[in-house]
Structure formats: C-alpha cells, structure tokens
Amino acid sequence: MARKFFVGGNFKMNGTIESVKSIVKNLNDAKLDSNVDVVIAPPALYLLLVREHLKPGLEVAAQNVFDKPNGAYTGEISVSQLKDSNINWTILGHSERRTILGESDEVVASKTKVATEGGIGVIWCCGESLEERESGKTISVIEKQLAAVSAKIGDWSKVVIAYEPIWAIGTGKVATVQQAQEVHASIRSWLKANVSEDVAKQTRILYGGSVNGKNCKELAKEEDIDGFLVGGASLKPEFVDIINAN
C-alpha cells in the first residue's frame, strides 16, 4: 500500500491573531489535494484559535508536549490537554529544541513514548549539523537518534519521521535531491533492520530543510520522500503549492 503524502507546516514562534487567521482562511479556501495529510503547528497560544477555524480534514499540531500527565510543570502542555482541545499531533525533537533548548535524544524519546501512548501523532525530527555532515557522520548521528526513540516505543503507527539537515533550516541552503533521498533511504533501511520490514514500508519520512514552492515538486518525486515539514514557507501562500506538490 502506497504511503499517503504528508505535509506539515511549522509556524515556529511566528504570527499574530490576524496573520494566523489569514493563513487558516487561505488553506480553507484553497483547493488542496485530498490525497495529502495536512497538519499545521501554530504557536501554543493560537492552537485553539486554529482548531476552531480550520476546516475539518486538516489537522493541528502542537510544537512540543511534555512527558508527564499533569502537575507542577510551569509552562508545559500535556498530552491529555492536547486531546481535550482536539489537537491530535505534536512536533518533537525539532533541531531548534535539541540545540537551543538542550533536549537530548532520550528526552525526545520519552516525550514521543508518552505522546504516542496517549493517542497523539508525532512528527519526530532528526538531522545533523553542518560539521557532522562535513565529517561524514550524517548517518551515524541519525541512527543514534533513531535508536533512542526505538528503545522507548513499540507502536510506530502514530510516528511520522522528519529528516531535517540542521544546516539547511532557515539558511536557504537545501540538500540536493540526491542527498535528501540518500538519507531518507538510510532511515528506511535502519527501520527495516532494527524495527521491522512493515514499519519500514509504512512509516512516512518527510524532508524538512528549506522546502519551498520552487523545489518541492522535484523532491516529491523521490521514492523515499513522503512529504515535507515546512518552516518559513508555511506562513506564505506558496504553502498550498507545497501541499499540492505530489
């Protein structure tokens, strides 16, 4: 069975009530490919605003979730609170949270376990720095990240993997189509060898490094690229073109 194309939009710490409403209206009014799963991740403050205005069939993701059910964890959001708000996805392990906020592979894995077991879909991010790529460590870095999450979860059905070369996020640099496909194929091979052949076949692997309206169609043609996790371009009208790239 073919893997369904998946496009996520990560607004990061951007937007106002007015601009977020405008993005939602643009998506609601657009003719979107019905064979694509679309999930957008506004800042936490606007999650309910988006969910209330976004048309049915399009999903909403938090940009993070905590790995405790509730309690004295100032500033955090729980899985049950997302579920209560009809927010069915979260992004975890984004490079900005790993590098700027110091989240380790183990912390990301713990959050992924709690989210998936609580019924939330996870866009789980992995990727390497420019220094790691230039020293030939890309695959070993990603395999270490995969191993950490694999040790914590048993059910991969709620996980979508997003490969994000850190050196290509927000820099305008983009991995070549061949570089992206090579890493995606390596991730799928790792899943086959270390999890199962079925998980390797069924898990969607997204590319997330400066995807835009110009490069999305070429990337979408690759065998192991099953969609995109889009940053800056998800705030622009071209996001519709990216959703319809497949």
Q: Which CATH topology does 5-243 take?
A: TIM Barrel (3.20.20)
Q: Whole-angstrom Cα distance, residue 91 to residue 84?
A: 18
The answer, yes or no, to whether residue 179 has pLDDT greater than 70, is yes
Provide mean pLDDT across the span 201-230: 95
Q: Whole-angstrom Cα distance, residue 148 to residue 17?
A: 37
Q: Whole-angstrom Cα distance, residue 102 to residue 96?
A: 9
Q: Are 193 and 172 in contact (CB under 8 A)?
A: no
The answer, yes or no, to whether residue 169 has pLDDT greater than 90, is no
The answer, yes or no, to whether residue 167 has pLDDT greater than 90, is no
Q: Where are the domains of the chain?
A: 5-243
Report the Cα 30 to chain-centroid distance in Å. 22
> Out of 59, 94, 103, 132, which one is annotated catalytic?
94
Q: What is the pLDDT of residues 74-118, one digit of tens each?
A: 999 999 999 999 999 999 999 999 999 999 999 999 999 999 999
pLDDT of 171:
73
State the alpha helices, DSSP H only, in 6-117: 17-29, 47-53, 79-84, 95-99, 105-117
Q: Are 245 and 22 in contact (CB under 8 A)?
A: no
Q: Could you confirm whether 164 is annotated as catalytic?
A: yes
The answer, yes or no, to whether residue 168 has pLDDT greater than 90, is no
Token pair listed for 107: 């912390």
Q: What is the pLDDT of residues 18-72, one digit of tens each?
A: 999 999 999 999 999 999 999 999 999 999 999 999 999 999 999 999 999 999 9
Q: Whole-angstrom Cα distance, residue 179 to residue 174?
A: 9
The answer, yes or no, to whether residue 1 has pLDDT greater than 80, is no
Token pair listed for 105: 């592979």
pLDDT of 170:
72
Backbone phi and psi for residue 208, each to the nearest 5 degrees, phi listed first:
-135, 50
> Out of 103, 132, 164, 184, which one is annotated catalytic?
164
